[in-house]
Chains A and B, each alone.
Chain A
Amino acid sequence: MNATLDPKKLISGATGDWEVVIGMEIHAQVTSHSKLFSGASTAFGGDQNAHVSLVDAAMPGMLPVINEECVKQAVRTGLGLNAAINLRSVFDRKNYFYPDLPQGYQISQYKYPIVGEGIVLVDLPDGSQITVGIERLHLEQDAGKSLHDQHPTMSYVDLNRSGVALMEIVSKPDLRSSEEARAYVTKLRTILRYLGTCDGNMDEGSLRADVNVSVRRPGDALGTRCEIKNVNSIRFIGQAIETEARRQIAIIEDGGTIDQETRLFDPSKGETRSMRSKEEAHDYRYFPDPDLLPLEFDQAFVDALKAELPELPDAKKARFMKDYGLPPYDAGVLVAERVQADYFEAVAKGRDGKMAANWVINELFGRLNKEGKDIEKSPVSAEQLGAIVDLIGEGTISGKMAKDLFEIVFVEGGDPRQIVTERGMIQVTDTGAIEAAVDAVMAQNPDKVEQARTKPGMLGWFVGQVMKQTGGKANPQAVSDILKAKIGLE
Chain B
Amino acid sequence: MSVDQATVRRIAHLARIRVTEDEVPHLQGELNAILDFVAQLDEVSVEGVEPMTSVTPMQMKKRVDVVNDGFMADKVTANAPAADDHFFTVPKVVE
Where the two chains meet, the residues of A that have a C-beta atom closer than 8 Å to any C-beta of B are 32-34, 38-41, 47-57, 65-71, 95, 97-99, 146-148, 150-151, 153-159, 264, 275-276, 283, 285, 288, 292-296
Contacts and interface: CB of A to CB of B under 8 A. Distances in A.
Given A38-B70, A40-B69, 11 more contacts: A34-B65, A39-B63, A48-B85, A66-B60, A67-B64, A155-B94, A157-B88, A159-B88, A293-B58, A293-B59, A296-B59
B92 A148 contact: yes
Nearest to A275: B95
B69 A53 contact: yes
Contact of A41 (B67, B72, B75, B89): B67
A48 to B, nearest CB: 5
Interface in B44-87: 53-54, 58-73, 75-77, 82, 84-87
A48 B93 CA distance: 19
Nearest to A97: B16
B4 to A, nearest CB: 16
Given A153-B92, A157-B88, A285-B14, A49 B69 contact: no
Contacts of B62: 65-68, 71
Given A32-B65, A66-B60, A154 B91 contact: yes
A276 B94 CA distance: 11
B90 A154 contact: yes
Given A65-B62, A148-B94, A293-B58, A47 B68 contact: no
Interface SS majority for chain B: loop
A68 B64 contact: yes
B92 A48 contact: no
A155 B92 contact: yes
A160 to B, nearest CB: 9
A261 to B, nearest CB: 13
Contact of B73 (A49, A70, A292, A293): A49
15 contacts: A32-B65, A33-B66, A34-B69, A48-B73, A52-B73, A53-B69, A55-B69, A67-B62, A99-B90, A146-B90, A151-B89, A154-B92, A158-B88, A159-B76, A276-B95
A67 B88 contact: no
A33 B65 contact: yes
Contacts of A295: 60
A292 to B, nearest CB: 7
A104 B71 CA distance: 23
A157 B87 contact: yes
Contacts of B92: 148, 151, 153-155
A65 B63 contact: yes
Which residue, of B16, B60, B61, B72, has the highest number of chain A Cβ atoms within 10 A? B60
Contacts of A53: 69-70, 72
A34 to B, nearest CB: 5
A196 to B, nearest CB: 13
Contact of B89 (A56, A70, A155, A276): A155
B60 A38 contact: no
A157 B83 CA distance: 9
Nearest to A73: B65
Nearest to B67: A41
B69 A70 contact: no
Contacts of A146: 90, 93
A65 B65 CA distance: 11
A295 to B, nearest CB: 6
A153 B60 contact: no
A148 B85 CA distance: 15
Nearest to B70: A40
Nearest to B94: A148
A39 B66 contact: yes
Given A154-B92, A155-B92, A95 B63 contact: no
B13 to A, nearest CB: 9
Contacts of A147: 87
B8 to A, nearest CB: 14
6 smallest beta-carbon distances between A and B, as pairs: A39-B69, A69-B65, A40-B70, A53-B69, A156-B87, A157-B88
A276 B93 CA distance: 13
Given A49-B73, A153-B92, A33 B67 contact: yes
Nearest to B58: A293
A292 B60 CA distance: 7
